[in-house]
Each structure stands twice: as structure tokens, then as C-alpha cells.
């Protein structure tokens, strides 16, 4: 946000928490601005070589980019940031430095509500009009060959081929980020990537370098709550949200600005997997998310998202208790509702992965007239960085001519030559202005061309952050307390798991010291899980506030209440009740779900009526982790045989341990006993023998998980 207005001197509209905090409520501006440099120097013992640029110039501040005033735009003259991000962008070839493992599909965006009153952007004018789109989903930390179910942020990048040029809304499935200033982006990615001396672990954050950086970077605490939650292990691309992360601007025909935050909301609702389940999915099918998207589009079950916007003016921005330029903060939907204005549909698979998914180039600076940027320092840095990245990765400034990157509208300029130039301006003129008339080529278009919002910024050149960015814990607390008890348990479990992989005790303790600022119960659970006492509470620059919780932040509270788009695994044997199998398939497919047959042999089974049923999976390759619910339909004879097979018993035991709904035919009792679950069956387990009992099973499956079972099957962080 580029603001002529000045934020209020105090943004606290609610009382600070009464939890222990040794910091004064009067924040030192110098301390906020300087960040961690002095403290890190002390940690190193004081005897440390000065940090310099590649040219040997000592760096005074490696925590903040150079801005025009605390909340002003990042300045082009910041050579230290420019060199740092330039070098980072060029570290990998040809694989992306981040978001290397991705999967994409074609589709369209259709406007359902006009926004002509707030933006001149052509794409938001006419209800019903469709705009071609390409979407790439990705993990962040892993290499191109890593597995899909890493605990990680997911990229949600959308390229919209509008009539006024390409608009790249390059977002994530989490609405906040680890850092506030782009100068720290190389550091957070270096920290989470495989440690450079050993090149492992791959696609994992459970190691010393990551948690060392995070524990020294309190601004990351809100993001850590998200990344340790179930949001970081989504069941499918189809079941996750997307966010533009930053505050952008809409600009209307008269030059008036309205701030906007973008949201993608899945029509099929949110869903994630359990951590133990994710680990096993990665072994059973490391392409789980890719396959899911491919299968859905191939079968005509086109994934769909609503586009929502949060619109607000300068007064709201000034009055809101957190800074809307801070990318580690959100505006809760209860405070500012999300308006649904369009829908995104993916209806076409790529016909060549490299030509489309691998070569697609997203740049945050690609916006059409009517959309503009705020002074969010992370967004400003991304705008500067992405073009460098594409140049290095694709090898030429002419990457824009690749079909997946080329605009669908007419385009013309005087840019010429370069490696792999597939088109050049023709005629005599290759410069502007010129006096050759029509033959002189394209000209500026003052009326319809892109115009930046005429913001008024002023301030001293300085490396700093505003005091309004200094509250690092209040929204982390809000997120944690907005979760259901089972989701809170998962966050504690994740922190215990991740920190248990950290070899150095002082890093574990330093990280746990931040948790009392978020929630004392969470801190106690994590400390207990690690076998340590809760350390002295980390000092907060601004005492955390108790802000209202937000139901929109919980996956479970916003569940879909439908089994549509999900998958039922039917483990069947020879002699299985044909009528029961048919009832399951017809009932669940009518709901919009998919049914897959799992059998002892891939050739399938002979049902009770003599009909052969072909299997989709052999039991050894089709574990229950691949399904959202399971049903076991055996003959009595085969139940006794399968009771001796460890893999078959694991199918049931895992489904039960992962809190899935389980159905079984009456003749499966001996198998259940052999799996050791006869005395464990609960209300999430259904004996089915008729169409009525099948319907009852489906009704239960709409809850997706029987979470009441978890306390009896998983004792982590309790």
C-alpha cells in the first residue's frame, strides 16, 4: 500500500494479552527497524567477518531492503538487495529454484459479478464472459523429482490471458508468508532447502537449518502455525484454497484506488490428510496429487474454484489493527467478508508437460490496466525478482513467445533480436518516437495504457521496517485458537515431529520459547513431547493481543459436508456379495464420488453371482491411504484366507488409525478379529448388508473423517 495517509500512532484497539511478557508496550523504533543483526553478531561471539556484497562492499543491514520511508516503495538503487536476489534467482538451471515440482492444467475464468465500479480491468467488466487460463500447482521446497505429499506450502499460480495482456496472479494455498521483506527470501529458502554440506533432507523442513532460521525470525510465527497445520498436507489440489497473499490495488477509469486481496475457494471444499497417512502415500504413490488432478479432468469431473475479493479503502487500512502491507498478516473474513465475483474451471489437460507446465513463466509484475501494486515490500521484491528468474531458467528474454506464455491479445513493441527470437519488428523503424507515421509501428496509448496509481510517497531513504509490522504473535495466536481441538493437536504433533529431527537442543529450546506468546497450552504440549521444560518466553517487540477467532481458518469447521469428488476404496474378494458391491458403487457414484476396486490380484475377483469384477489396484499397491473411505466385502472363506496376509490387514488397520469411515460385510468378522480390531470398532465403522445400510454409511462419509477416534489411536503431544 502506497499511502499518503499516515497510520495511527497506536494500532491496538484491543487489550494486550495478560500472558507473561517482559517487553515494554512502548516499542523501540530502532529495535524494530534494525531487526536481528546486532543479536546475531553477539550469538557469533563478536569475532566474525563483516558481511559484504560480491564486490567486497560491507553490508550495514541484511534484514531490510532500502525504502522511501518505513512504508514506502523499495528503491531501485538498492544494489545490495539487487545483487542478493539476482544471485539467488540464478542459482539453479534449468530447474526452478523454488516451486520446482509442479503440475498444471488449462481452463477458463468466468466473471459472475461485475467489478466495473472499482476497476477498469477488462476482465472484470462483463458478467458471463470467459477468459482463458492456465494454472500451475506446486510444492515450494522440493526438487522436481520429489514427492507430492511433502509438508509444504503449495503454489497456486494462475495465468489469465486477458484482452489487455496477461495477468499472473502468483499465489499460494496459504495467505501469509514467512518473511516481511523480499531481501530475506534467499535466506528462508536456503534454510529450508537441503543442507548444503550434505544435500539432505529433500522436500522437508524437519532439520536444523530451517528451525535455526525460523527461531531467529519471529515474523515467521504466523506462517509457522499455518505450515504446521493440516493446510500444509492437502488431500488434493482440488481441495485447497488459493490466495494472492499481498494487498493489491484496483484502479477505476478515473484513477481512484480500492485495495483488494484475492482468494480462490474450492467448490468441493477443503480437505487434508493425516501426517502418518502422508508419509505412507509418498511411498505408495509419490505422484498422488498429479494423478488425482489428471484423473479428475480426464473423467470430466472438472475442478472448480470461486474467485473472491476483499475490497477496502484507505480508511479501513488506517483503522485496521494490523498493517495491510505486512505479508505475514491477513484480514479475517469475519472482519471483511469475501465477495465472490467469478469462477475458475480446469477442463483441459496439457498435451506436453514440458511445453506447458515446465516452460510456463509467471511474473507477479504482469498485471493489466486497472490492477496495480501496493508497497508491500515482499511484493515489491517479487516484482523485481521474477523476470531475472525466467531469463536464467528459460535462457532468453524471448521466453514470452513460447505458446504457454504468449498473450492471446494482439501485442507489438520494438524489442528485437536476442537468443531464439521467433519474431522481430518489421520495417524501417525499431525505435520510438519516430516520424514514419503508420509505417513507424506501434505508439503509446495514453487513454487505455497501463497507468500506475498516483500515490504520494515521501520519506527518508532508509533500511527499516515500520513499527506497524512488529506484532509477530497476535495473528499466530488467532490462527491457532481458531482451530478445532483435533486441528490444534495436529499443529502440536507437527511441531514435535519437526523439532525432534533438530539435532541441536538450543535450537529446539529457542523455537519453543516463542510458543508461549501464541498459546501456553501449545507451548506445554510441544515441550512435553520433546521432553524439555518450557523455556523462558521469547521477548515480543509488541505484546500479543487476544483477537477474535475466525471460523474460516479451520478446515474442519468449513468442511464440505459432501463426499462428492472423493474416492471410496472397495477391497473385495472372490465370492463377495455382488448385490452389496453394486449398491456401494451406485450409491457413491450418484453422490459424485469415485469407486475403485482393490483385490488380491489385479485381474480382479469373481463375485457371488459369477460375474468378474476387474480391479483397479492389487492390494500390495493399493493401500487404504489412497482412499477417503473404505469398504471390505469378502466371502467367509476368503476372509479366513486374507486374515493371514499382513498387507491386507494393514489396509484395514491403517484406515482405522487414520480415522476413516469403514464399512464391512457380515462375513468379514474373522478378518477384523485377525487385524486386532474386534473390540475397537466404533461409530465410524458400519456393518452393511442392504441398500439402507449403504446409505447410512455414505451419510457418515460426508464428514470425511471420524475424528472422535483419534485420541484412542494417536497419543502424540497429549
For 196-222, the pLDDT digits (tens) are 999 999 999 999 999 999 999 999 999
Q: Which of 64, 99, 490, 658 is catalytic?
A: 99
What is the residue-averaged pLDDT of the chain? 91
Range list of H helices, 576-631 = 578-591
Same domain, 588 and 650: yes
Residue 543 falls inside a structural domain: yes
Label residue 329 by pLDDT band (50, 70, 90).
Answer: very high
Whether 35 has a pLDDT exceeding 60, the answer reads no
Q: Cα(274)–Cα(710) distance, rounded to whole angstroms?
A: 10
pLDDT at 422: 86
Of 247, 263, 278, the closest CA to residue 337 belongs to 263
Same-domain pairing of 600 and 490: no
Which three-class secondary structure state does DSSP give residue 585?
helix
d(CA 315, CA 391): 40
What is the distance between the alpha carbons of residues 297 and 632, in angstroms, rounded to a whole number? 28
Asked if residue 223 and residue 127 are part of one domain, the reply reads: yes
Averaging pLDDT over each range in 36-40, 81-85, 537-541, which range is the top one? 537-541
- Stretch among 84-93, 135-144, 357-366, 626-635 having the lowest mean pLDDT: 84-93
Residue that terminates a domain, selected from 505, 521, 553: 553
**Cα end-to-end distance, the chain, whole Å:** 43
Indicate which CATH number applies to the domain containing 126.
Answer: 2.40.180.10
CATH number at residue 591: 3.40.50.880
Question: DSSP 3-state assignment of 454?
Answer: coil
**Structural domains counted in the chain:** 3
Which residues, at least 6 apart from 673, have a Cβ–Cβ distance to it below 8 Å? Answer: 643
The mean pLDDT value for 398-417 works out to 90
Q: Are residues 542 and 583 in the same domain?
A: no
Of the candidates 115, 105, 118, 72, which has an alpha carbon nearest to the alpha carbon of residue 457?
72
Does residue 542 lie in a domain region? yes
- Report how far Cα 296 is from the mean position of its chain's Cα atoms: 20
If asked whether residues 144 and 239 sit together in one domain, one would say yes
Query: 109: which strand partners?
Result: 131, 344
Indicate whether 490 and 577 sit together in one domain.
no
Over 90: is that where the pLDDT of 40 sits? no
pLDDT higher than threshold 50 for residue 19 = no
pLDDT above 50 (res 378): yes
Note whether 548 and 573 are same-domain residues.
Answer: no
Closest C-alpha to 183, from 91, 95, 86, 52: 86
Q: 215-242 pLDDT, tens per residue?
A: 999 999 999 999 999 999 999 999 999 9
The verdict on 655 and 693 lying in the same domain is: yes
Please report where in the chains the cell 496439457 appears, as a residue: 350
User: So what's the pLDDT on residue 10?
Assistant: 35
Cell of 621: 499397491
- The reply to whether 390 falls in a domain is no
Which of 242-246, 360-364, 409-413, 678-682 is predicted least confidently? Answer: 409-413
Helices (H), 146-287: 185-192, 208-215, 221-227, 275-284
Q: Are residues 273 and 238 in the same domain?
A: yes
Other Cβ atoms within 10 Å of 37 Cβ, number: 16
CB neighbourhood size of 67 (10 A): 25
Q: How does pLDDT run across 267-286, given as a tens digit for each residue? A: 999 999 999 999 999 999 99
Cα 595 from Cα 629, distance rounded (Å): 10
Q: What is the pLDDT of residue 92?
A: 65
CA 628 to chain CA centroid, Å, is: 21
Active-site residue, 99 included: yes
Q: Which H helix or E strand runs over 43?
A: helix 37-43
Q: Across residues 613-631, what is the average pLDDT?
A: 97
Tens digits of residue pLDDT in 429-473: 888 889 998 888 888 888 888 989 988 888 899 999 999 999 999
* pLDDT exceeds cutoff 90 at 303: yes
User: What CATH number is attached to the domain comprising 510?
Assistant: 1.20.1370.20
C-alpha angle 624-626-629 in degrees, rounded to nearest 5: 60
- Report the C-alpha gap between 67 and 396 in whole angstroms: 30
Query: What sign results for the dihedral spanned by CA atoms 559, 206, 513, 527?
Result: positive
> Which triple of cell numbers denotes residue 35?
531487526
Q: Domain span at residue 351?
A: 97-385+397-401
Asked if the bond preceding 115 is cis, omega within 30° of 0, the reply is no
Domain end position, chosen among 485, 518, 553? 553
DSSP 390-401: HHHHHSSGGGGG
- Would 600 be classed as within a structural domain? yes
Give the model's pLDDT for residue 718: 55
How do residues 153-169 score in pLDDT, each as one tens digit?
A: 999 999 999 999 999 99
φ and ψ at residue 554, rounded to 5 degrees: -95, 130
Instruction: Tell me which of 288-302, 306-320, 383-397, 670-684 is least confident.
Output: 383-397
What does each C-alpha distance from 85 to 81, 211, 384 come to in angstroms? 6, 22, 9
Q: Does 200 fall in a domain?
A: yes
The predicted structure's pLDDT at residue 444: 84
Query: Looking at 64, 122, 166, 172, which residue is catalytic?
Result: 172
Q: Among residues of the chain, what percentage have pLDDT more than 70?
A: 93
Average pLDDT value for residue range 699-705: 98
Q: 308 and 256, same structural domain?
A: yes
Count of CB atoms situated within 10 Å of the CB of 708: 12
216 domain residue, yes or no: yes
Q: What is the pLDDT of residue 79?
A: 81
Out of 553, 588, 622, pick the residue that ends a domain: 553
> What per-residue confidence (pLDDT) applies to 59?
83
SS3 563: coil
Classify residue 199 as exposed, middle or buried by CB count within 10 Å of its CB (0-12, 13-18, 19+): exposed
pLDDT value for 76: 82
| pLDDT computed for residue 38 by the predictor | 53
What's the confidence (pLDDT) of residue 458?
Answer: 86
- Residue 504 domain flag: yes
Assess whether 622 and 598 both reside in one domain: yes
DSSP string, 639-654: HHHHTT-HHHHHHHHH
Q: Does residue 514 lie in a domain region?
A: yes
Same domain, 182 and 121: yes
Mean pLDDT of 300-323: 98
Amino acid at each position: 500500500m502506497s499511502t499518503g495517509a499516515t497510520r495511527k500512532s497506536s494500532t491496538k484497539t484491543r487489550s494486550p494479552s495478560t500472558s507473561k511478557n517482559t517487553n515494554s508496550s512502548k516499542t523501540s523504533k530502532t529495535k524494530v527497524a534494525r531487526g536481528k543483526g546486532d543479536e546475531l553478531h553477539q550469538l557469533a561471539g563478536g569475532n566474525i567477518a563483516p558481511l559484504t556484497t560480491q564486490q567486497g562492499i560491507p553490508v550495514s543491514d541484511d534484514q531490510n531492503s532500502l525504502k522511501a520511508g518505513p512504508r514506502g516503495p523499495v528503491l531501485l538503487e538498492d544494489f545490495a538487495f539487487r545483487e542478493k536476489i539476482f544471485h539467488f534467482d540464478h542459482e539453479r538451471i534449468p530447474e526452478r529454484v523454488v516451486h520446482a515440482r509442479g503440475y498444471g492444467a488449462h481452463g477458463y475464468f468466468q466473471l459472475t459479478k461485475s467489478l466495473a465500479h472499482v476497476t477498469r480491468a477488462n476482465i472484470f467488466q462483463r458478467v458471463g464472459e470467459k477468459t482463458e487460463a492456465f494454472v500451475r500447482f506446486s510444492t515450494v521446497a522440493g526438487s522436481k523429482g520429489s514427492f507430492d505429499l511433502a509438508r509444504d506450502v503449495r503454489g497456486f499460480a494462475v495465468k489469465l490471458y486477458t484482452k489487455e495482456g496477461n495477468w499472473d496472479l502468483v499465489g499460494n494455498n496459504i495467505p501469509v508468508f514467512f518473511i516481511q521483506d523480499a531481501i530475506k527470501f534467499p535466506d528462508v529458502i536456503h534454510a529450508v532447502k537441503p543442507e548444503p554440506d550434505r544435500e539432505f533432507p529433500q522436500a522437508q523442513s524437519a532439520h536444523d537449518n530451517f528451525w535455526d532460521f525460523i527461531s531467529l525470525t519471529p515474523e515467521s510465527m504466523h506462517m509457522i502455525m499455518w505450515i504446521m497445520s493440516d493446510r500444509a498436507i492437502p488431500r488434493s489440489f482440488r481441495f485447497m484454497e488459493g490466495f494472492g497473499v499481498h494487498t493489491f490495488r484496483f484502479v477505476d477509469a478515473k484513477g481512484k484506488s480500492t485495495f483488494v486481496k484475492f482468494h480462490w475457494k474450492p467448490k468441493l471444499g477443503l480437505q487434508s490428510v493425516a501426517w502418518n497417512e502422508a508419509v505412507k502415500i509418498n511411498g505408495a504413490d509419490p505422484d498422488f496429487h498429479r494423478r488425482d488432478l489428471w484423473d479428475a479432468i480426464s473423467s470430466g469431473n472438472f475442478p472448480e474454484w470461486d474467485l473472491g475479493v476483499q475490497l477496502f479503502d484507505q480508511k479501513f487500512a488506517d483503522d485496521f489493527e494490523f498493517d495491510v502491507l505486512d505479508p505475514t498478516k491477513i484480514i479475517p473474513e469475519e472482519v471483511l467478508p469475501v465477495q465472490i465475483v467469478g469462477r475458475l474451471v480446469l477442463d483441459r489437460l496439457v498435451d506436453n508437460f514440458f511445453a506447458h507446465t515446465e516452460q510456463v513463466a509467471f511474473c507477479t509484475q504482469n498485471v493489466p490496466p486497472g490492477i496495480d501494486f501496493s508497497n508491500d515490500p515482499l511484493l515489491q521484491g517479487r516484482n523485481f525478482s521474477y523476470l531475472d528468474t525466467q531469463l536464467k531458467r528459460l535462457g532468453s528474454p524471448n521466453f514470452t513467445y513460447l505458446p504457454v506464455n504468449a498473450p492471446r491479445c494482439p501485442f507489438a513493441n520494438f524489442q528485437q533480436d536476442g537468443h531464439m527470437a521467433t519474431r522481430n519488428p518489421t520495417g524501417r523503424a525499431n525505435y520510438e518516437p519516430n516520424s514514419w507515421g503508420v509505417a513507424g509501428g506501434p505508439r503509446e496509448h495514453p487513454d487505455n495504457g497501463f497507468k500506475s496509481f498516483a500515490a504520494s510517497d515521501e520519506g527518508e531513504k532508509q533500511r527499516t521496517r515500520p513499527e506497524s509490522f512488529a506484532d509477530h504473535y497476535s495473528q499466530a495466536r488467532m490462527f491457532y485458537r481458531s482451530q478445532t481441538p483435533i486441528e490444534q493437536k495436529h499443529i502440536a504433533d507437527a511441531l514435535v515431529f519437526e523439532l525432534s529431527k533438530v539435532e541441536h537442543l538450543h535450537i529446539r529450546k529457542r523455537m519453543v520459547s516463542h510458543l508461549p506468546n501464541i498459546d501456553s497450552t501449545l507451548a506445554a504440549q510441544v515441550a512435553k513431547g520433546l521432553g524439555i521444560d518450557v523455556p523462558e518466553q521469547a521477548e515480543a517487540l509488541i505484546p500479543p493481543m487476544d483477537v477474535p477467532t475466525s471460523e474460516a481458518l479451520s478446515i474442519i469447521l468449513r468442511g464440505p459436508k459432501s463426499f462428492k469428488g472423493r474416492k471410496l476404496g472397495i477391497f473385495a474378494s472372490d465370492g463377495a456379495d455382488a448385490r452389496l458391491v453394486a449398491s456401494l458403487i451406485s450409491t457413491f457414484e450418484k453422490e459424485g464420488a469415485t469407486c475403485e476396486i482393490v483385490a488380491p490380484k489385479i485381474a480382479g475377483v469373481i463375485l457371488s453371482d459369477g460375474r468378474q469384477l476387474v480391479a483397479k489396484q492389487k492390494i500390495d499397491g493399493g493401500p487404504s491411504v489412497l482412499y477417503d473411505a473404505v469398504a471390505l466385502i469378502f466371502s467367509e472363506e476368503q476372509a479366513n484366507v486374507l486374515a493371514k496376509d499382513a498387507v491386507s490387514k494393514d489396509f484395514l488397520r491403517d484406515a482405522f488409525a487414520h480415522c476413516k469411515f469403514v464399512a464391512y460385510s457380515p462375513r468379514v468378522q474373522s478378518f477384523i478379529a485377525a487385524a486386532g480390531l474386534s473390540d475397537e470398532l466404533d461409530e465410524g465403522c458400519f456393518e452393511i448388508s442392504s441398500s439402507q445400510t449403504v446409505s447410512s454409511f455414505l451419510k457418515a462419509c460426508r464428514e470425511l473423517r471420524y475424528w472422535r477416534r483419534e485420541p484412542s489411536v494417536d497419543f502424540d503431544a497429549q
